[in-house]
Amino acid sequence: MSKKDKNHFELLKVTKLKDIMDGTVKRLDTSDLSLQNDESVAQYKFVEGAREAAKKYKIYPGCYTIVSSNFGTTLEKFELKTHNLLETIDNTKSIKDRANQFFDNLHVYEELVQPKIRNILLYSAPGFGKSSAINSLSQQFISEDPNTVVINWTTSAVRSSTVESFFSIGSQFDNKVSRMIFIIEDIGGGEQEYAGNRGVDSSLLGLLDGNSVTFKVPTFTLATTNYPANLLGALADRPGRFDEMVRLGAPTATERSALGKFLSKRDLTEDEIEALEDESLNKHEFSIAHIKEIVIRSRLSGKSFKEVIGELVRHKEKYEKGFDEKGSMGLGI
């Protein structure tokens, strides 16, 4: 190996241009090389020695999202957003029970000489509280153990091969990290910016199987999808890739009124309770997002819960018929 091959530049940090422009970052650190694009500035230092000895990206306790750019793959601080919903409604308890069952019984994996990882797939139509449940769970686990790391991967933004490479050869956990919550958002749904439909590729399978990546800390994976029918049977119906598939259902009649009261920040009238608990709504599977819209639209328009519910029901029926009628595509009529 020549001397030139042994020398290389190592990434120091990536700084967003908007942080420089708004004064959040006062000045850039000293570096040997800086590269700038439309969004950020990447700074590098010159390192003498074998390329194989280059320092891996260190993963510390905290909450992060995976970011990939021309300058490499890094973790960016990620703020968990809470929707402040009733735990009985947003399925947090159900998911937390599964996570505790895993973390409290790691000795089982040690006795069986198996990797300490468990993968759960949450599925439902949009608006049924998958994200809020995961965020609530993550906050609770970080609060209980500050050495927890939560890593969020938005599949529409970062390729699975990039994530696989980052965990397998591009990073390492700091010794303080005790466990990981790995969130995989929206598997198998929609379009990617850089290619067409998202499929299930070998990199994703390798991550889930543990064939290409063996996490050094106990890892509880929570993946979400709005379109379970899009997932291949090899992914969705094979223990070891997803150990459990958990469907988040619509709130029941009594849960609808409880959620309506919680979101309204007041006691509901008898008419409002009756409207929310109407058994005929069960077939429409009103989501948490629907209940929130009922409360807000009622306040904005001055309409009763019953009137708003009627609008939403008519919209759902129109949608389910494929919008045969021409006209407004919004939530209203």
From first to last of its 333 residues, the chain has per-residue pLDDT tens of 344 445 566 787 888 878 877 778 777 777 767 777 777 888 777 666 544 445 689 999 999 999 988 778 999 998 776 555 555 555 677 788 899 999 999 999 999 998 899 999 888 777 777 777 788 888 889 999 999 999 999 988 898 889 988 998 889 999 999 999 999 988 875 444 444 444 556 777 777 777 667 789 999 999 988 776 666 555 655 656 788 888 877 888 888 998 899 889 999 999 999 999 998 888 888 888 889 899 999 999 999 999 999 999 888 777 666 644 444 444 443
pLDDT at 172: 92
Phi-psi region of 130 (alpha: psi -120 to 50; beta: other; left: phi over 0): alpha
- Please state the φ and ψ torsions of residue 15, each to the nearest 5 degrees: -115, 130
CA dist 139 → 19, 117, 128, 145, 152 (Å):
26, 20, 19, 10, 13
pLDDT at 107: 96
Cα gap 248→90, rounded to integer Å:
9
Task: Give yes or no for a contact between 59 and 74, defined as CB atoms under 8 angstroms apart.
Answer: no
pLDDT at 197: 44
User: Is the pTM of the predicted complex or chain greater than 0.85?
Assistant: no
Determine the angle formed by the axes of helices 288-301 and 305-320, rounding to 10 degrees.
130
Q: Spell out the CATH class of 87-247.
A: alpha beta
Domain ranges (residues) in the chain: 1-55, 87-247, 253-320
Cα gap 289→90, rounded to integer Å:
11
Specify the pairing of strand 244-247 against strand 117-123: parallel
What burial class does residue 260 get, using C-beta atoms within 10 Å of its C-beta: 0-12 exposed, 13-18 middle, 19+ buried? buried
pLDDT at 262: 87
Cα gap 64→86, rounded to integer Å:
25
